[in-house]
Chains A and B, each alone.
Chain A
């Protein structure tokens, strides 16, 4: 057994609170990570390649609660450690990759807002990145004896040549100018533009003198420009994590789905052909989002052939070089290991403070398996939540016996984060309509 690290109280509380709420903690992932070794290795390679100026795209596919989001957060943490910039957002009905009603701009804005670096891991790092860039240019100007303005113009040359790059460069130059002149308003306007928060061209033109804005049509180009820019600012590259891609599958309009898939194809092609630089995508979705041949990615012929499973990857052999990473179910051993780790988190890493003996972990797993069958191995989320709930009861009530409590543990089948808000929830009669399967 590996020596157990001690766990900081702050990490401990963050982890436990998040897990009880059924969400992924932002901190201390390493304490509760089990399995997925080869998947993580594959992503680490991706990140290294991106840091070298390459590109990458991965579809992380798993059932609801299988740990997609956890995995994405893990990737994010690794990328941050490796001095990359990470942007992260969930897709939703109001945030899509392609749209005409502002939903793509909204996704871009969310991504730009979430930009994180190692020193600013909680998002909002765009300002720091800009400042780092300007600082570098100023240093260079000093070294070469040019003006700061000239140094900036020079280093932005590449960007200016890219699609939609001219205005992007102009805005960055405007930021630098505002920075030099101490003009906060101009800096704020430039930041606003870069974050995709302008909704009309007229406004942007009045504030910054540019004729375009980052709108729905500029979603992907905007990300490419950002990726190029963060490299100029001294970072390795940009990793874009998009989660809940099942929202594309759920679009009720065939045309809208197709347009989103076309955009994904464009991104995929660029990555596979190596025409992008320092930009990686990690996309999380459920199996139906990928495999459904009527409304999933597979409904788009060109994507299906590019994403098809390696036909030699069968009988337990896996191929981690393809763009699709299928998050397999946790094995019972891995799940056991996960429970151990959770017990450790509760004990802050001190085996003497374990709340329950090993026997209880086995009993918990047996209980769950009996209650909902094999399905529960597929979705760690609810298992983890139930176990954390159990332990926290035991922690707060030192007299309580885990055997008694165990009988009361119930686990619902994971239906995903989807909540319906149209009507207030009410108890439904147990009839055919309640769990209709068409």
Chain B
């Protein structure tokens, strides 16, 4: 017997009207699970019918209620994107009509009067974004009990998009607050997720601290399919010519010779011709997202492609989209992509992917590997939503042609290898787990402010119990919460203040923060830092790595010594470093998880061939594997290079940077860059000796390391954290001091 019979009569009538011949696998499985009550994660491929798998049994539950006169919403459907909500609204409209259940959509673009109607007579299904939900709680906190008191269930659409992110923390916290405002111990949560290798991650994201009691339902239906390609490009590198036009490596002996070799203009990264041609050929005429990396790169790519349109007397279809553009400009691009039938490609920064509210495109392209599998999965999900259309993702891996003087690191084509490794992880259904012990203090500050607005004043203990004991901020204990409150109440911060009877209230600065429209969203677009030499700005760079003065960094094709980092002004002051040509690795290595780097090592050491590589990419991989064998990296991860040493620990960014900083603390000039650590002016033996000692010792004291590193304000409210807490965040979330002995041991083979 099919589970069809367990659905309510109007629901079955609708299914019959749709002329479905049978229910799909995910629906058959989800119906009994959802009807049974409790938390459920429903996973299946894109376009496999997850939406119906959840809504059909939920409507059956709502229709089965004895109380027919609704005084609150019955189903709260939270979705990360407005476009997705509009899409779901169309899909559910006729169903809800058949069932006589009101259906509301509620996000920034919905008219105020429609929202007001929904608010005044709350009932049925409401489709909403986390930000609109936050706004409702903040601005109409006292109505929360009425609006959400009768909820049957909360549905979290695209649950995988919330795992481990700030927005995920916010959503979990909001759901806890809704349960508390409704006076309920718990409200059933239904999560809809892409299939992940470890579904427990999704369960835990749905119900923090209670993932083991979440029922898991996995549909086996084929989705629309995925078409994925990694395209390799071997490009001869244009090197900054030293004085006298002498090509090749400069050892830069003389300090005074350096400034004269400075490029006189900020070097804009150029788009290699073959890459531009292919992008133009593959993207034009359809709607796409092109993730190009930093803002500079976005501008260059968009400009190059626009120029190509003009040259061929075609209308322009390529538009840049990043945080430095005005909101109106960005919205123009989004609107055009969403509502305009003309083909449009938005060229966007990697960091902005959450901020772009575009539901459905034909294809996604990205330059380089990107930094997380989760975001790759997200991007992939932006295409292939329409029936019969597969998801399309093209990764453009641009590698240097190897020549004399190339860094050994370049010979490994790590950009390409990382892309391959990430696709392998993606195919395994893996995604980055939330970092254990992460404090999320920035998001916690946001939630404290939001709670105060919602309640009109709250006792510190209640706030802690709700947010940290019941809610998702489990790593924050009472003492840390006190420290945080003291920090944000400090006279120079003034986010909160206290009434004489002890209630937390919004402080003077907090009023400015909470009164803006931006307040409801927690995801911040990380600010880019200006790289400054002398009085000249060399360009900007998103600061996704942990750096300390004295280290070197590579920027605009040159190597620089970091003199000073100002996190508040977002300026890095640099001086040219005298050294051999830097590796050309331009990829997104910062923030990469251990598992990806391990897979990269396996790709280099292995023999497997991959069908999704184009011919150039396959050749480049073969070259890289040859280099791997030449350099004997499997057995010698400590390599002499020029006058320095290169270390290949094959670990993720946190461990890599921590080891580099630990070496700095031992008076080496060590910088983490592109999956390797470069140690200047050192002998392999000397480095190996220190590593051996590190391997045999307990982890180093974190404080000296924390003291010297820059602490970029990555999350939205990091700027309000007092120094001590920012140090703590750095030590806990951005460094991994405990790993130093193990990583060192790996390098010296002990």
A interface residue numbers (CB < 8 A to B)? 64, 93-94, 101, 249-255, 286, 288, 294-295, 415-416, 418, 420, 422-423, 426, 428-429, 431-438
Contact = CB atoms under 8 A, between A and B. Distances in A.
Given A416-B501, A428-B461, A438 B485 contact: yes
Contacts of B180: 422-423
A54 B466 CA distance: 52
B459 A420 contact: yes
A379 to B, nearest CB: 12
Given A252-B505, A438-B486, 16 more contacts: A93-B142, A250-B503, A252-B453, A252-B456, A252-B514, A253-B514, A253-B515, A288-B500, A416-B501, A422-B181, A422-B458, A428-B461, A433-B461, A434-B461, A436-B482, A438-B485
A198 B508 CA distance: 37
B460 A433 contact: yes
Contacts of A418: 501, 503
A288 B496 CA distance: 16
Given A254-B511, A254-B515, A423-B466, A415 B502 contact: yes
- Which of B180, B499, B508 neighbours the largest number of chain A CB atoms within 10 Å of its CB? B499
Contacts of A254: 511, 515
Contact of B462 (A94, A288, A423, A429): A423
Interface residues on B, range: 35 or more
B489 interface: yes
Contacts of B470: 423
Contacts of B479: 431-433
A255 B458 CA distance: 20
A254 to B, nearest CB: 5
B498 interface: yes
- Which of B479, B485, B511 neighbours the largest number of chain A CB atoms within 10 Å of its CB? B511
A433 B486 CA distance: 11
Main secondary structure of the interface of B (DSSP, over half): helix
24 contacts: A64-B501, A93-B142, A250-B499, A250-B503, A252-B452, A252-B506, A252-B511, A255-B515, A288-B499, A294-B497, A415-B502, A422-B180, A423-B180, A426-B465, A432-B479, A432-B482, A433-B464, A433-B479, A434-B461, A436-B460, A436-B482, A436-B502, A438-B496, A438-B498
Nearest to A416: B501
A36 to B, nearest CB: 23
Given A252-B457, A252-B506, A436-B460, A94 B142 contact: yes
B89 interface: no
B575 interface: no
A250 B508 contact: no
Interface in B444-478: 452-453, 455-462, 464-466, 470, 478
Contacts of B465: 423, 426
B14 interface: no
A433 B515 contact: no
Interface of B: 140, 142, 180-181, 452-453, 455-462, 464-466, 470, 478-479, 481-482, 485-486, 489, 496-503, 505-506, 508, 511, 514-515
Nearest to B455: A422
B490 to A, nearest CB: 9
Nearest to B481: A433
A42 to B, nearest CB: 26
A114 to B, nearest CB: 22
Nearest to B181: A422
B117 to A, nearest CB: 13
Main secondary structure of the interface of A (DSSP, over half): loop
B141 to A, nearest CB: 9
A432 B465 CA distance: 14
Nearest to B469: A423
B448 to A, nearest CB: 12
Nearest to A426: B465
B456 A432 contact: no
Contacts of B142: 93-94
- Which of A286, A422, A434 neighbours the largest number of chain B CB atoms within 10 Å of its CB? A422
A429 B503 CA distance: 18
A422 B180 CA distance: 6
B462 A437 contact: no
A318 B481 CA distance: 45
B482 A253 contact: no
Contacts of B455: 422
A423 to B, nearest CB: 6
A319 B689 CA distance: 84
A253 B514 CA distance: 8
A93 B461 contact: no
Given A250-B456, A253-B515, A423-B466, A435 B503 contact: no
B497 A438 contact: yes
A331 to B, nearest CB: 23
Contacts of A250: 456-457, 499, 503, 505
Contacts of A286: 500
A248 to B, nearest CB: 11
A80 B482 CA distance: 50
B508 A438 contact: no
B482 A420 contact: no
Contact of B508 (A94, A249, A294, A422): A294
A426 B462 CA distance: 10
Nearest to B496: A438
Contacts of A255: 515
Contacts of A438: 485-486, 489, 496-498
- Which of A252, A254, A415, A437 neighbours the largest number of chain B CB atoms within 10 Å of its CB? A252
Contacts of A426: 465
Contacts of A94: 142
The 5 closest A-B pairs by CB, nearest first: A438-B489, A252-B506, A254-B511, A433-B478, A438-B498
Nearest to A418: B501
Contacts of A295: 505
Contacts of B501: 64, 415-416, 418
A337 B485 CA distance: 44
A422 B469 CA distance: 14
A422 B466 CA distance: 9
A122 to B, nearest CB: 28
A126 to B, nearest CB: 27
Contacts of A288: 499-500
Contact of B485 (A64, A101, A249, A436): A436
B458 A420 contact: yes
A428 to B, nearest CB: 5
B482 A435 contact: no
Contacts of B506: 252-253
Contacts of B505: 250, 252, 295
A431 B459 CA distance: 14
A60 B486 CA distance: 33
B239 to A, nearest CB: 57
A324 to B, nearest CB: 18
A93 B456 contact: yes
Contacts of B497: 294, 438
Given A415-B502, A431-B478, A434-B461, A253 B485 contact: no
A416 B502 CA distance: 11
A420 B140 CA distance: 17
Given A251-B456, A422-B455, A437 B498 contact: yes
A97 to B, nearest CB: 16
A437 B502 CA distance: 7
Nearest to A249: B499
B261 to A, nearest CB: 55
Contacts of A436: 460, 482, 485, 498, 502
A89 B466 CA distance: 32
A415 B459 CA distance: 12
A435 B502 contact: yes
Nearest to A424: B183
A419 B462 CA distance: 12
A422 B462 contact: yes
Nearest to B504: A438
B59 to A, nearest CB: 31
Contacts of B453: 252-253
Contacts of B481: 433
